[in-house]
Amino acid sequence: MIAAESSIDPEDKDLAFAEPWNARAFALVLALSERGLFTLKDFQGELIDKIGAYEKLGCIRTDEEYYTHWVEALTALLRRRGLLSAEAVSAMEASLVAVAAATREHQHDAAYGPEGKLRVEPLVVFGPGE
């Protein structure tokens, strides 16, 4: 188990996420990059491809749409590198949909402190065999 450190300041007033899962997706990309699974430039290229394909049909209007492409880019990058199978992605998607429906309100309440600011907790990433 490795605790991922980041240069992102959680008190930065300009760093805001509409939903807790947006912050988690952002943090996951940073943590996996810091672990050396890919570079941020690799991720950026994949994200540009995903957004570019979508924008042929229309523009991104919400944070949810943007971070959905963020997760799609991460998934595609991990699959291409052999770190995530298609079956694992399908199983995770089904699980996430079920959990999100049951816990959306709880996640929102738990993610925000009493002053209404998004709490940023330390992120722990497990590597292969850990």
Task: Show pLDDT as tens, one digit a residue, over the chain (130 residues).
Answer: 333 444 555 555 556 778 888 888 888 899 889 999 999 999 999 999 988 888 888 887 888 888 888 888 999 999 888 888 878 877 777 776 666 666 555 555 556 666 666 665 555 555 555 5
**Nearest C-alpha neighbor of 107 from the set 31, 18, 16:** 18
Whole-model pTM over 0.85: no
Within 8 A by CB and 6+ apart from 45, the residues are none
Domains of the chain by residue range: 15-125
Own/partner long-range contacts of 111-116 (Cβ < 8 Å, ≥24 apart)? 111/20, 111/23
Is the distance from CB of 42 to CB of 77 less than 8 angstroms? yes
